[in-house]
Amino acid sequence: MIRNLWYAVLESSEVKGTDLLGVTRLGERLLFWRNDKGEVVCFFDRCVHRGASLVPGKHYGDRVACPFHGLEYDSSGRCVKIPANGKNALVPPQFKMKTYPTYEAYGIIWIWWGENPPPNLQPPSFFEDLKQKTHWMTVVDPWDTHYTRVLENQLDVVHLPFIHHNTIGRGNKTLVEGPGFEWVGDCMFYHYAYNKVDDGSRPRTPQEVPVPDPTRDYKLETILPNIWQNRIAENMRILGLFVPVDETHTLLYLRFYQDFVKIPGVRWIVDKIFCWFNLIVAHQDRRVVVTQLPKTDGTGTGEKLIQGDLPIMEFRKKRLELKKRAQS
């Protein structure tokens, strides 16, 4: 994982009221809770006193208390009370939890996973055309591999007629033209699939296919480090959050948006059907992707990539660039 980046890690609905939520993200034990303003707070879940988890502790509005010895922490992570020393005792400044900046919008919670965030820290990027949408349904699927392996699978247009031969890859379109590719920001890119039945012709190169394609709205969009959108049509989208649990485990959040059915009960049924179908497609992928070796990031592992893997090549190149930035 790369430091000093915004990672989507949860949906807003998972951090509720006065609950204390403990999860593993990016290989670390984290605590999420809401203060008395409803803002999401993220602590590295290790009490500075004796290292206990605060998850079984108490929530006091703008503070949380360790269940072991009752130390209380405010939203900034500062310890404001050590009961054993007396309620009026000063707390040494080194009694402070490690915290991560959070950002909440569009039903998603991000954390800025790094050290010493800059004073002008900007919010994470998101897809402009999804910002106004307020209706979706989400399913969460665990994968036993690195989050980049799961995300790269969504960049892979070569596998469609093989893994998905009876779902989204029907038609025996094994010849990969392009694929089309364009960067539209420092950490955002689009790619376009142009697969067709192999008629013996030479496939067009990425430079020869139309980018962008004025004849269709369909495209796939990625924002590093870990979100992706399948723009199926103006009124139907799939959002993917590739949430790193640790180096070999990922939670795939698949969110389905649609605007073509608006009657509440019928809409719920339609959403359920599409979420069920999305899971079927994801499990076709998962069956194979979890067998890839190594289970960690595939960059530099000696894979022999082909023209159709261009989006994966560009994704890995950008990750190397972001690693260098984080280390500088």
SS3 call for 193 = strand
Tell me what pLDDT residue 246 has: 97
pLDDT of residue 299 exceeding 90, the answer is no
Tell me what pLDDT residue 221 has: 97
pTM, full prediction: 0.95
Average pLDDT over the chain reads 96
- pLDDT level of residue 225 (50, 70, 90 thresholds): very high
- Burial (CB count within 10 angstroms: exposed 0-12, middle 13-18, buried 19+), residue 179: buried
Lowest mean pLDDT segment, chosen from 18-22, 99-103, 114-118: 114-118
**Kind plus residue range of the DSSP H or E element containing 250:** strand 249-258
pLDDT of residue 8 exceeding 90, the answer is yes
- For 5, list phi and psi in degrees, rounded to 5: -135, 155
What average pLDDT score do residues 202-222 get?
Answer: 92
Tell me what pLDDT residue 301 has: 83
pLDDT digits (tens, 9 = 90+) for 248-275: 999 999 999 999 998 999 999 999 999 9
- Report all structural domains of the chain as residue ranges with CATH numbers, in order of start: 19-113 (2.102.10.10), 128-327 (3.90.380.10)
- pLDDT level of residue 328 (50, 70, 90 thresholds): confident
Start-to-end C-alpha separation, the chain: 16
Tell me what pLDDT residue 214 has: 84
SS3 call for 174 = coil
Distance, in Å, from the CA atom of 147 to the CA atom of 233, rounded to the nearest integer, reads 26
Tell me what pLDDT residue 142 has: 98
What average pLDDT score do residues 5-15 get?
Answer: 98
Q: Which of 66-75, 229-238, 256-265 is most confident? A: 66-75
Tell me what pLDDT residue 298 has: 85
Q: DSSP for 60-110?
A: -SSEEE-TTT--EEETTSBEEE-GGG-TTPPPPTT-B--EE-EEEETTEEE
Find all residues with CB under 8 Å of 36, minimum gap 6, and list them.
Answer: 61, 62
pLDDT of residue 36 exceeding 90, the answer is yes
- Per cent of the chain over pLDDT 70 is 100
